[in-house]
Structure 1
Amino acid sequence: MKRSVLLPPALLCAFLPLLGGQAPWETPARSIAAERILAHTRVLASDEFEGRAPGSPGEEKSVAYLAEQFRSMGLQPGGSGGSWTQDVPIVGVTSDVALSLADSPGGGFRPLAFPADFVAWSPRLEPSVAAADSELVFVGHGVTAPEFQWDDFKGTDVRGKTLLILVNDPQVPDPRDPGKLDPRVFKGNAMTYYGRWSYKFEEAARRGAAAAIIIHETKAAAYPWFVVVNSWSRERFGLQGSTEPTVPLAGWMHLDQARRVLAANGSTYEKAVAAASRRDFRPIPLKQRVAFSSRQTVRPVRSRNVFAALPGSDRRLRDDWLIYTAHWDHLGRNPKLDGDGIFNGAADNAIGAAGLLEIARAFATAPVRPKRSVLFLSVTAEEQGLLGARYYASRPVHPLARTVANINIDGLNPWGRTSDLRQIGQGSSTLDEVLLATAKARGRTVLPDAHPERGTFYRSDHFEFMKQGVPAIYINPGGHFLGKPAGYGESKLAEYIDRDYHKPSDEVKPDWDLSGAVEDLQVLMETGWRVADAHRMPAWKPGSEFHRERP
């Protein structure tokens, strides 16, 4: 008599690929469909949702839509007490700024033109902020980086002064090959966090500056001036109750205006950049004086993260969590614009939120569940400085010590199939190998960030999880498009940045081809499932700036 042996579902799933059966993620991954991604994107990016700004009617509609989609999939609420949302208390500040320069001490002040010469705001929660006569000091890149033995301030007291700062990192030539940047200093061509605008304002605040003004240069910033105008010239948000220091005035100066300032001091922008790339650089007092005032409109806002949960199947591991993220917010609407004033944010990031919904649906319809639990988290206020992700990472619903990984979706490929995909932040953790194996099994390759100098690694929600010790994956579209000429992907990306990024024209395009988005989501779903079923948590690699021991 033959005896049959019944294996537990989790064990059976582990052995299926070895026995010639189907891996548990295959059927749900194949169900991921371009039509559903596009349908969700059309809704979230519609004029009815008004650009999805935090604290707006567009937020109410976005949160309700996401929660209802999660509910209809049969997922469980992500929060305690049956809640589909996590309150994120933020505060909005609208600044009406006047900024003037005097060409010498005691000279008359002349106003700069907004937004032609500058864009500025104050993060202070006060009715008004002002400085009547502040010394202007050029501080290079405004960086203090002990690990690179770099200090732009050299002990200079900048309290009460206005700092003029270069964007990005110091561009230090490699002594072995002066045509390249030194990889031992600020990671060479790759932007570090010291190059981000957020760091520069934080450092200025820590040093007691009256104002911090970054010189905008399109290549170094990785986006043109209109992005600065559209992103920073209206209401800005911060987390309520934050104890982090803030500079009274933060802003950007147009490169043409900066050139005029430097020329009045007998210098040029190019000379200033070269000087700031030397270790012996010291702050340079400029002859101009600065006066500014800002009338502030402040309002508290209860924004929300939206989340849903899929409990794990393994009793020992179901208290571990894999988190998929995608931000739902964008820039809202600007009634001061002529014509279309709605920033629909189709590619940034309605399509990413749609991708999150489609992955969640695929997991929810799978015949078996992964061993660990999965949280699908759509966060608020990414465009305001990753605020929703920062809030969750500092007040997690599920302990970060039991959070195995974050897989972040910020944008998807709308231009067709690629043979590759680009991993942002490659080399940080053992998630690299999981992603690589998954892509290889699907006949695809994983390449590093094509443009590390743009600082994309620090510009999306995964960064807040990594800062708290959670390994993360964030991918961008690949560059090798099937059936397209070489350079097609780069040209489409450049076209998007120039024509649509942070503009009202970021809408669903009639020529979108989401076949590549589907295949990227399939890779992300399978990667996540593999992580959720793995015996051990992903680990940090030695040398990672986020390295810490994990269970």
Structure 2
Amino acid sequence: MTRTKLNLSLLMLFTVSVVFAQKKAAETITENDLQAHLDYVASDFMQGRDFYTDVPGLELTASYLKSQCQKMGLKPGFNGYFQPIEMTSSKPDPENTYFQLISKDGKVTSTDANIFALGGSSGNDTIAGDLVFTGYGWYNNDTKYNDTEGLELKGKIVVVMTRNPTMVESGGHNNMQIEMQKMQKAMLGGAKALLFVPDPMNPEPEYINSIKKYATGGTLQLKGAKPGRTMPVKLLFGTEELANQIVQESGKTLAEIQNEISETGTPKSFDVKELTANVVLGKDTSTVIGKNVVAMIEGSDPVLRNECVVYTAHYDHLGIDGEQEVYNGADDNGTGTVALLEIAEAFQSLKKKPKRSIVFAWVTGEEKGLLGSDYYSQYPVFPMENTLADINMDMVGRSAEKEPDAEAEVEKSLAGPDGIYIVSGKQSSELMEISADICEEMGLIPSDKLSQAFLTRSDYYHFYKNGVPVLGLSTGLHDDYHKVSDEVDKIDFHKMKRVAQYSFLVGEKIANQKKRILVDNPSVE
């Protein structure tokens, strides 16, 4: 046998052995193990894995993750596997929260205590200013219907009804995405605050109360966070009765104004001239210590081990609502949490570890504003410039019966049995090619449909903004998102296993290449 043929044979043998090792490691990720972990993490006993529950389910989950890392023999990323995070907790103080209407002569005409807010600073807030009623606060590109045409929003408290004319006409239900578009419009217009009131024809009169359950759980901010990290426009939520007092100078009730909009198809917005507002939002503040759980496998190459691939998943959720119902968050993000455990086990099963180091970070406070990943990005195990990629898993366990239509709404685009959404800033075409190749090998159908709308909405964002290429993995949104109905019995464990195996194979490929993946579009927003 010639030397060339011998070298070729050895190369083929090496390639086959590597592929065999990868496949064997991927097969350690099993449906039974995923379910066993998830049955514990998403159980009622964990009380929704939040900071404010009687049973400290979030702490118990962190301890469980630590114990699993120890059992696998993973190296701690930080002392004791925990990365402590000091945060400021802020909860509404209803006794010191109210919305006052003030007449032109400076007299308080009414005080309404039945309001609440989202966003704002961690301390007490006071908002004072003129009012403008903007109907639904909506603009339709096709019909050119525009509720804010000719109105100045800057420095004012903008009053809007929920839903929009099309939804009212069709009997459509509330959609938070629609309301967030109104917030963005108000923010761009320079508004001080946005006051949402339920439109009188609303088929879901309890909609605002359902938001209130979430809002009264409180907010968290990293200790010493810059003002720019808070929501720039304060979102206030009030009642139809409060709205009737605000619009009374029109001589009509809110219901009568809404009827006129429906009948004429034209806006009925106006500046409120007879009244101004003074809003006080009381807060109870305290210090909370959260923790990221971080483990790692050190790379086998003496030089390349100083670079890493990071896997992330948030393990927190929404806790318990005002009626003591538990948000178990099986898919959000119990699935990502336990998938990451199985991926770590797959890497640890490799006899020859990857050339580069692998970091596994279970981050906290995602539901409070991506806090844990924000903190990690500031104080990482390896510098951001030595982090080749972040592979983030957030809601990776659900499937629709078939793949969604191309025209399906982003908010309801649950993937089918073979679908996977990959959110990316597309900073590395090489990374996307690796991802596409592995999807093809596994029979997965990748889609980037969620990238534009979701690039800032999960933990990969803090890697993206630091120039690190990201793959944000999800199987899509569903009707149980942020509801108490997000339960284990709805999880597709076969699909979840495939997503976890795909994630392992992508990270293993990146970590073993001789050269780091090429970043051909490093610029971020």
TM-score, scaled relative to structure 2 = 0.74
Structure-2 separation of matches of 1:365 and 1:216 = 55
Following superposition, the deviation at residue 257 of structure 1 comes to 8.4
Structure 1: gaps (5+ residues): 143-151, 169-190, 218-223, 277-282, 479-492
Map 1:246-257 onto structure 2 (within 5 A). Answer: 246=230, 250-253=234-237
2:129 aligned partner, one-letter code? S
Map 1:235-314 onto structure 2 (within 5 A).
Answer: 235-245=218-228, 246=230, 250-253=234-237, 285-287=271-273, 289-314=276-301
Cα offsets for 1:429-468 (capped at 9, x unmatched):
322111101111223332222x567x33321100111111
Partner residue, 2:320: 333
Using a 3 Å threshold, how does the CA distance of structure 1 residues 477 and 196 change in structure 2: closer, same or farther?
Answer: farther
Tell me the CA shift for residue 535 of structure 1: 3.2
Q: Shift of residue 19 of structure 1?
A: 5.0
CA RMSD of aligned residues (A): 4.4
Specify whether residues 390 and 71 from structure 1 end up closer, same or farther in structure 2 by C-alpha distance, changes over 3 A only. Answer: same
Q: 1:233 aligns with which of 205, 216, 220?
A: 216
8 Å contact 2:309–2:357 — kept in the other structure? Answer: yes
Summarize the Cα distance change of 1:121–1:424 in structure 2 as closer, same or farther, 3 Å threshold. closer
TM-superposed deviation, 1:235: 1.4
CA distance in 2, matches of 1:541, 1:415: 33
Deviation at 1:112, TM superposition (A): 5.5
Does the aligned pair in 2 maintain the 1:424–1:475 contact within 8 Å? yes
Q: Residue 248 and residue 2 in structure 1: after superposition, are their counterparts in 2 closer, same or farther (change >3 A)?
A: closer
Distance 1:384 1:270 in 2: 40
Report what 1:546 is aligned to. Answer: 524
* Higher radius of gyration, 1 or 2: 2
Separation (CA, whole Å) in 2 of partners of 1:242 and 1:201: 24
The one-letter code sitting in structure 1 at the alignment partner of 2:326 is: I
Instruction: State the alpha-carbon separation in 2 of the partners of residues 401 and 15 from structure 1.
Output: 34
Find the partner of 2:131 among 133, 136, 143. 136
User: Could you report, residue by residue, the CA deviation over 1:159-214 in whole angstroms, capped at 9, with x for unpaired residues?
Assistant: 5x43558999xxxxxxxxxxxxxxxxxxxxxx9xx9696x789889xx7x754546
What is the distance in 2 between the residues matched to 1:200 and 1:390?
26
1:473 corresponds to: 471
What is the CA distance between 1:428 and its match in structure 2?
4.2
Structure 2 unaligned spans of 5+: 139-147, 164-176, 200-206, 401-415
Task: Pick from 84, 87, 92 the counterpart of residue 89 of structure 2.
Answer: 92
**1:58-207 alignment, distance < 5 Å:** 58-79=57-78, 82-97=79-94, 98-100=97-99, 102=101, 105-106=104-105, 109-110=109-110, 114=114, 119-121=116-118, 123-126=120-123, 128-131=124-127, 133-137=128-132, 158=154, 161-163=156-158
Alpha-carbon spacing, 1:503–1:19, altered in 2? closer, same or farther (3 Å): closer
Q: SS in structure 2 opposite 1:432?
A: helix
Q: 8 Å contact 1:102–1:110 — kept in the other structure? A: yes
1:264 Cα deviation (Å)?
Answer: 7.1
Paired residue for 1:407, among 376, 391, 400? 391
Aligned position for 2:488: 508
**Are 1:525 and 2:504 counterparts?**
yes
1:226-264 CA-partner distances (Å, limit 9, x unpaired)? 663343232111111112245798224479789976897
Q: For residues 393-542 of structure 1, what are the structure 2 equivalents within 5 Å?
A: 393-415=377-399, 418-425=417-424, 427-430=426-429, 431-449=431-449, 455-477=453-475, 494=478, 497=479, 500-509=480-489, 512-542=491-521
Pairwise CA distance, 1:476 = 2.2
The aligned amino acid for 1:505 is S
Structure-1 residue corresponding to 2:25: 28
Which stretch shifts more, 455-464 or 92-101? Answer: 92-101
Q: Which residue of 2 aligns with 1:146?
A: none
Q: TM-score, normalised by structure 1?
A: 0.71
Q: 1:242 is aligned with what amino acid? A: A
- Cα distance in 1 between the residues matched to 2:349 and 2:377: 28
2:327 and 2:28 map into 1 onto residues whose CA distance is 31
CA contact (8 A) 1:230 1:503 kept: no
Alpha-carbon offset, residue 424 of structure 1: 2.1
- Asked whether the 8 Å contact 2:132–2:153 carries over to 1, the reply is no
Which of the two has greater helix per residue? 2
Task: Report the secondary structure of 1:411's partner residue.
Answer: coil
Quote the Cα distance in structure 2 between the aligned partners of 1:249 and 1:426. 26
Contact 1:343-1:504 at 8 Å conserved across structures: yes
- Displacement of 1:85 in angstroms is 0.9
2:64 partner SS: helix
Aligned to 2:350: 366
Q: Is the 8 A contact 1:227 1:501 kept in 2?
A: no
